[in-house]
Structure formats: C-alpha cells, structure tokens
Amino acid sequence: MKRLFSLILLAIACISARAGAATVKTTPWHPVYVGIDQASGSIDGSDASVAYALRVDLRAPGIRFYTAPRQGSLNTVASTTSQFLLKYGLQAAINANFFAPCCNATNEEKTVLGLAVSDGNTVSAPDGTPGQNASLLIDQKNHASIAETTDTTDISNVFNAVTGSGIIVQDGLNVGADTPFGDGADPNPRTSLGL
C-alpha cells in the first residue's frame, strides 16, 4: 500500500488567546495548482483571526521546493515573502527561519539562524540553539522529514531545509509545552509545517 505524503503549510494570522471558547469556521480544500490545495479557517468569522493552509502533494508532477540562497557577506539578503515569490517565479511561498538583525525585511543582509539549505548548498549550519532547531528537511527526491537539528546532524542528503522554533506535535502527541512561542496574550503571525 502506497502512502501519500503531503506537506501542510499553515500560516496563522493572530489567533486570539481566547480561541478555546470561540466558534471556528473552516473552508473545504480546493485546488490552486497541480499538487497544491488551499483551505482557510477563522475564529468567529473575524478577519483578524484567520489561518490559511496549503496542502502540498510531494509526489505531484512539477512539485519542487526552493529556499533562499546564500547571498551577500552574511548568509542572505532579506525580502518580503511576496517579493521572494515573484523574484523566483514560485506558486507559493512562506516565511521561514529566524534572522538577525530583526526586523527590516527589505533588501538588507541578514544572518540566518538555524539550519538553512538551498539546492544542496548550506546557507546556515545547524547549531542546536534551543527554540531555533526544528527543521524541515527535503532531499533531492522530495522526501521530507521534520527533525530537531544540532551541530552534529548529518545534512549530507539534505537538498533544501528551513528551520523554525520547535516541534509542537510529534508522533501524534502535543509537545508544544516544550516549545517557546512567546506571549499567548499578544500573538504574532506564525507559520507551521506538518507531514
């Protein structure tokens, strides 16, 4: 029996800390490109509490991942997500990896924090910094995994990789209490990845 692997990208825009008592509305999945479906959800129909999700079939024809290449004297040069999408002719894009200095996102050299790999070239090596070590690892055949990476992680087969703050669900269990997410009363937009 073949398993269908898909990557779920979820961009969350300011979900309220009181979401537990609210009504959540979701849309059905609908195709936007070959191998890519989209859905969204909102809390009480509010535009300020919206989540957008993409479901990517890793085996669909033409699906390929691309991450920001090494540029400049640091690791890379910042751009907005929309600018990145247009510059590289992509169908979908997300913001990934923390960076310094924060927070100007336009045409400024940045040091990438955590593992970043672009088309087989290491942009930033893993360093195991707590809260910046949950990596999406993709090989040249689009096989994906999510792992905590450290300075001893073997990345020889990694073709593209991005890193976020921490793993929140592992083997079906909520391990989010171990992940630093900031202030729950003052949430910020975030992106989540899942397999």
Nearest of 38, 41, 59 to residue 49 by alpha carbon: 41
Most confident range (mean pLDDT) of 88-92, 156-160, 167-171 is 156-160
Say whether 87 sits in a helix, a strand or coil. Answer: helix
Q: Spell out the residues 6+ positions from residue 71 whose beta carbon is closer than 8 angstroms to its own.
A: 77, 109
Per-residue pLDDT, 76: 84
What would the two tokens of residue 34 be?
A: 């070959």
Tens digits of per-residue pLDDT, 51-104?
889 999 999 999 999 988 888 788 888 888 888 889 899 998 888 888 888 777
Residue with tokens 């509305």: 25
Q: Is 186 exposed, middle or buried (0-12, 13-18, 19+ CB in 10 A)?
A: exposed
Per-residue pLDDT, 173: 84
Within a 10 A sphere around the Cβ of 169, how many other Cβ atoms?
A: 12
Within a 10 A sphere around the Cβ of 149, how many other Cβ atoms?
A: 24
Q: How far apart are CA 5 and CA 167, in angstroms?
A: 18
Q: What is the mean pLDDT of the chain?
A: 80
